[in-house]
A and B are shown apart, each in its own frame.
Chain A
Amino acid sequence: MEFGLWAQLPSVLPEVGLTALAIVVLFADLYGSAVTRRNVVYISAVGMALLALAPLIWLPDPALFENGTLLWGGMVNYDPLSQIFKVMLLLAGAVTCLMAAGDKGVGDKGEFYLIVIVATLGGVMMSSASDLILVFVALETLSIPLYMLASFRRGDSRSAESGMKYFLYGAFASAIMLFGFSLLYGFTGTTNLSGIAAALDGGGGDSLIGVMTALVMVVVGFGFKIGAVPFHFWTPDVYEGAPTPVTAFVSVSSKAASFALLLRFLTAAFPVELVIGGVIIQDFWVNLLIVVSIVSMTLGNVVALRQSNIKRLLAYSSIAQAGYTLIGVAALQGADDSLAVASVSFYMFMYIFTNLLVFGGVILFISATDTEAISDMAGLNRRSPWLALFITIGLLSLGGIPPAAGFFGKFFLFQAAVKANLVGLALIAVTNAIIALYYYLVVIKVMYVDVGPDDDKPIALPRAYAWSLGITALVVILLGTIAVTPIYDWATLGAAGL
């Protein structure tokens, strides 16, 4: 393929822009005046939000599709799926910056924003990577900043513990995944995802065990990143120990980027038509994911029932949410997978805003009261009606109650499952959704019904913060009502490009 720099540049515009933004932020923080340093948060947030517009304006040129969507020597896949994930990751970064702004020891340090930008860069790269080398580089570009973020409050032993745990588990998972990659390369002689499928196709049975081992290893690595059972052990401790804005960021960015990559990896490298030695590889990974999904949902939800710390509750809830999303990945089986891909993309899109909303509310609550116990949220409705309402909207969305976005998110996933003849899985999932709703409702009940000792002490909601929470809440409602169609159609478009 002829290499045209200008033709191919839009495909990596967010990556280039993020790199530039990172440099700007670094220097602004190092050499800028006091005013500039204070405004680093806005530089970062606005910069990322503007970059999020770029994929919207430069939608992939249809002409590129004729020669395939692989650009930059087959490293980058420039398709609608990558665009939708890039947009959501950039917006997640921007919102995280705004929410961290007032957090002492986190948001007042310029390097926090730098690290968030670099982590976002990693996530953005992941969502379009289509070569094992770039996949791994992107994954580490995302992960290493996250380890640093988790231990960002150096003086706080919980934060340090959280960072250390995250690093050890993460490094372990990366190593296993890398080993899987090397096996794949060994069997196929190529690092390109679609090249792997072509090289494996029609192969004899002798490579079967090796390929399956590699597949399992890669799935283990992803399982760690998305916090699925049985690779979830880091989640509660890291979520609890890390500074809350970081927890919010970890819970959305690394998960969304990983799901983007998982979709691409499984459909490109192990497509439906791939048969090795008479074994249909897709059946193997679909069954594997079904099991992981069921276990994640059930364990996450059941353990969450017993939590008394709001951050740990959200940690287990996010394990369960990963389980729901895996339903969509498991539903990739079959010839027409567009519903499944679209459902996963939509779910992640709404999940990012939902989780940021909940965490945003919780950040403010924790910094105002210095406690993380759910029972201390008693009477929050009286102390700050708006804060209580925002958290409630977020929890309802997580629980899948309309008009919040979660209703459509879950609906699309269940629909994809039924379409793929996974009715049993859908029934297990809806049962789980009910269990989950119980603990979300308990939190809401505590905020609205219970009477706390501090009922008469209002919690102030800073204006800027109220706006960012309010807009996020509005987005969550819109995604569940009138904005469903454009986003879902966009997600369907993403499915067509795979």
Chain B
Amino acid sequence: MDGTGFSVLTAIIFIPIIAGVVILFLDRKNRDLVRGIGITAASAVMALSLAVFLGYDNYVKADGGLISQQRALLESGAELSGARMFADALAFEQRIVWVESLGIAYHVGVDGVSAPMVLLTGMVAVAGVLISWNIQDRLREFMAFFMFLVAGVYGVFIAVDLFMLFFFYELAIFPMYLLIAGWGWVKLREYAAMKLTLYILVGSVFSLVGAVAMYFAAGDFFAGSGADIFQAALASGLLPADSQPFSWSITQLTLAAENGAFSIEILGIEGLSFARFWFPFMFMGFGVLAGVFPFHNWSPDGHVAAPTAVSMIHAGVLMKVGAFAALRAGVQLLPDGADTHLPWIVFLTLINVVYGALIAFRQRDFKYVIGFSSVSHMGLVSMGWATMNLTGMTGAGIQMFSHGAMTALFFGVVGMVYDRAHTRDIPSLGGFIKVMPWVGVAFVIGGLTSMGMPGLSGFIAEFPIFQGMWAASEQITLQLGSFQLSNYYSVMVVIAASGIVITAAYVLRVAGQVFFGEFDADRFHDVGNIDMSDRIVLIILGAPLIILGLYPPIMAPMIESGIVPLIALLGGG
């Protein structure tokens, strides 16, 4: 789908920004107006996000839509161009040249991987505003920063210009710092906020340097030996007519990647290509935010310290920003590097899955359990990327959505319990389902999703990842010097599956101790049921888990259509 006119995505970015600025100018005592603008803006972007999702769904599935196009292309046996396929998959595009001399453009659009993420962000934004309804301390500033955070997160998902991706990525980090440091859990907030910010920024700036290097390598390529490829792309309309050889456009960088611009040897070391050198920087730089071991350490502390709304958006959406950017800027732009490095990175993701689950099992603090469970589940996403095949990567895409909604639901549940019980110590809670039936049911749904129960979205996500791992086992060989390891993915699947068992153990333990068992009516005499806005939160976040679980075609084909270009880039069929 082409388009240079106004895109609904632009509205999605700017509505929260404008709302945030307006809120900042309001009288701070006028709490109703602050909340009113906040919820209006959040609802508006959620509605637009849903429209984008459904519109894209239609684009994918319609007769002659993306899926049938891709299928025809694959069957025709023609030579596949990942860049072409990526560009074709984009919809709702808008492009405005920003810094012409450097090839930076404001360019937004969604593909199959990002469209579900846009929906997810909208859901969590509304849930976040609702759950922060009764914040007492400086509600105005909280709401404004929350809006900026939402805008930044959206920006990363819809950026089709690598520079824009970085711009929004950094934009999201600062409001998050202030929200955690200013409104978080008093005991931990300063430490956790700073730790989280520094971890994430260290990762991102190293990938920024890598991105600049890619920009020059691609530009040199298109200005030199690849000039005819560049001209052909201009002529075919793959690149806009005003493109220059040096550009931050992800489509153009992808084109450079698949034509070998990043296979040049650097530093004079044999076998060390540009892509191989920079891939770890790009992938792990963003992987920090996805919680890839050993850079996951910020995540549990950050989640626990953050106020509920921020935990929700953080674990629910921001970690996906990391995984998404690692895919977009790492795997898609440096496929040669992915071939070399993902076979060992997969070990790190395995540690995530198993070790995260084990630690979650040992926690006494309710929120830490969820924090570590995020580390474990996000490991599955990275593991899905590492399969480098359609099944596994599609599963990872679904897992991003499924885990996002599920973990936001979890953090919502924890927040509701903590707000009323004033403790998160698991052994001292008990029987809460009697007074908070909605919350208890929501937790059980989330828990079942988390352990991959069929009929819920977790199963739809995790099963393909394991299946993809198994299928990849034959193809992937780890080569370290003369050392060779092959057919080890199948062993990893078995170990990773044990993570599911551990997940089941801790979910059941928490459910048993917090929601069932004896209710201490004396101690928790003032704990009551939740109000309407909290119920809406639970419905918004819980319903998709069931819908997606019962009817996977609502999302799976879309994500698959987003993965197909990547598979073409990675050299698969």
What is the interface of chain A, defined by CB distance below 8 A to chain B? 381-382, 385, 389, 396, 401-403, 407, 411, 414-415, 418-419, 423, 426-427, 430-431, 433-434, 437-438, 441-442, 444-445, 448-449, 484-485, 488-489, 492
Residue in B177, B194, B209 whose beta carbon sits within 8 Å of that of A430 in the complex:
B209
A438 touches B198 (CB 8 A): yes
Docked-complex contact A381 and B213, CB < 8 angstroms: no
**Contacting B216 at CB < 8 Å: which of A419, A430, A433, A484?**
A419
A430/B101 in contact, CB under 8 A? no
Chain B residue contacts of A403, Cβ below 8 A: 167, 171
Asked whether B174 lies within 8 Å of A401 as measured between CB atoms, the reply is yes
Closest to B267 in A: A423
A411 CA to B197 CA, complexed, in Å: 19
Q: Tell me the complex Cα distance, A449–B184, Å.
A: 10
Taking a contact as CB atoms closer than 8 A, the residue among B170, B182, B206 that contacts A449 in the complex is: B182
Residue pair B178, A423 in contact (C-beta under 8 Å): no
Question: Is B167's CB under 8 angstroms from A448's CB?
Answer: no
CB distance from B145 to the nearest CB of A (A): 10
| B contacts with A: majority SS | helix
The 0/1 profile, CB within 8 Å of A marked 1, for residues 76-93 of chain B is 000000000000000000
Instruction: Tally chain B residues at the interface, Cβ within 8 Å.
Output: 35
Q: Are A489 and B101 neighbours in the complex by a CB distance under 8 Å?
A: yes
Cα A411 to Cα B174 in complex, Å, equals 17
Q: Who on chain B is nearest to A415 by CB? A: B212
Residues of A contacting B: mostly: helix
Chain B residues lying within 8 Å of A445, measured Cβ to Cβ, are: 181, 190, 193-194
How far is it, in angstroms, between the C-alpha of A423 and the C-alpha of B274 when the chains are bound?
Answer: 13
Contacting pair B213 A423 (CB below 8 A): yes
Q: Which residues of B contact A438 (CB under 8 A)?
A: 194, 198
Q: Is B532 interfacial (CB-CB < 8 Å)?
A: no
Which of A381, A423, A484, A488 gathers most chain B CB within 10 Å?
Answer: A423
The 14 listed contacts between A and B (C-beta, < 8 Å) are A401-B171, A402-B168, A411-B208, A415-B215, A423-B213, A426-B212, A437-B201, A444-B178, A445-B193, A449-B182, A449-B189, A449-B190, A485-B99, A489-B100
Given the complex, which residues of B lie within 8 Å of A381, measured CB to CB?
Answer: 138, 141
* A484 partner residues in chain B, CB cutoff 8 A: 98-99
Q: How far is the CA of A448 from the CA of B140 in the complex (A)?
A: 13
Q: Give 1 or 0 for each of B160-188: 1 = CB within 8 Å of chain A CB.
A: 00000001101101100110011000000
Q: When A402-B171, A414-B209 are in contact, do A492 and B101 touch as well, CB less than 8 Å?
A: yes
CB contacts (< 8 Å) of A418 on chain B: these are 209, 212-213, 216
Q: State the total of A-B contacts with C-beta under 8 angstroms.
A: 82
Among B99, B171, B198, B209, contact of A423 (Cβ-Cβ < 8 Å):
B209
Alpha-carbon gap, A426 to B211, bound state (A): 12
- Considering only CB atoms, which chain B residue lies closest to A482 in the complex? B98
**How far is it, in angstroms, between the C-alpha of A415 and the C-alpha of B162 when the chains are bound?**
14
B51 at the interface (CB under 8 A from A): no
Question: Considering the chains assembled together, what is the distance between the CA atoms of A485 and B206 in angstroms?
Answer: 25
Interchain nearest-CB distance for A470 vs B (Å): 11
Residue of B nearest to A445 (CB): B181
Minimal Cβ-Cβ distance residue in A for B199: A434
In the assembled complex, which residues on chain A have CB atoms less than 8 Å from the CB atom of B173?
A: 401
B contact set with A: CB distance below 8 Å: 24, 28, 98-102, 138, 141, 167-168, 170-171, 173-174, 177-178, 181-182, 189-190, 193-194, 197-198, 201-202, 205-206, 208-209, 212-213, 215-216
Instruction: Tell me the minimal C-beta distance from B195 to chain A in angstroms.
Output: 11
Measured CB to CB, the closest approach of chain B to A481, in angstroms, equals 9
A427 contacts B209, CB within 8 Å?
yes
Q: Which partner residue on chain A sits nearest B28 by CB separation?
A: A385
Nearest-Cβ distance from residue A335 to partner chain B, whole angstroms: 14
Q: Which residues of B contact A382 (CB under 8 A)?
A: 138
Residues of A within 8 A of B215 (CB): 415
Chain B min CB distance to A408 (Å):
8
CA distance A403 to B20 in the complex (A): 14
- With A402-B171, A448-B178 known as contacts, the answer to whether A441 contacts B194 (CB < 8 A) is yes
Contact A488 B198 (CB under 8 A): no
Nearest chain A CB to B86's CB is how many angstroms away?
25
Q: Is B198 in contact with A434, judged by CB distance below 8 angstroms?
A: yes
Please indicate the chain B residues that have their CB under 8 angstroms from the CB of A427 in the complex: 206, 209
Q: Which residues of A contact B209 (CB under 8 A)?
A: 414, 418, 423, 426-427, 430
Of all chain B residues, which has the CB nearest A484?
B99
User: A441 touches which one: B102, B138, B197 (CB < 8 A)?
Assistant: B197
The answer to whether A402 touches B141, judged by C-beta atoms less than 8 angstroms apart, is no
CB distance from A484 to the nearest CB of B (A): 6
Provide the bound-state CA to CA distance between A444 and B193, in Å.
12
Contact A402 B190 (CB under 8 A): no
For B168, give the chain A residue with the smallest CB separation: A402
A488 & B178 in contact (Cβ 8 Å cutoff): no
Contact of B202 (CB < 8 Å), options: A434, A441, A489: A434
By a CB distance below 8 angstroms, the chain A residues around B213 are: 418, 423
Which B residue sits closest to A389, measured CB to CB?
B24
Give Cα A488 to B100, complex, Å. Answer: 10
B212 touches which of A385, A414, A437 (Cβ 8 Å): A414
Q: Which residues of B contact A488 (CB under 8 A)?
A: 99, 101-102
B198 contacts A437, C-beta separation under 8 Å: yes
Which residues of the partner chain A approach B181 to less than 8 Å between Cβ atoms? 445, 448-449
CB within 8 Å for A433 and B98 given contacts A401-B173, A449-B182: no
A residues within 8 A CB of B194? 438, 441-442, 445
Residues of A within 8 A of B167 (CB): 402-403, 407
A441 to B182, CA, bound (A): 12
CB pair A430–B100 under 8 Å, yes or no, is no
Q: Which of A396, A434, A485 is B174 in contact with, Cβ under 8 Å?
A: A396
Residues of B within 8 A of A431 (CB): 202, 205
B190 touches A434 (CB 8 A): no
Q: Is the CB of B205 within 8 A of A402?
A: no
In the complex formed, the residue of A with least CB distance to B194 is A441
How near does chain A come to B281, taking the closest CB pair, in angstroms?
9
Report the Cα distance A431→B285, complex, angstroms.
13
In the complex, what residue of chain A is closest to B169 when comparing beta carbons?
Answer: A402
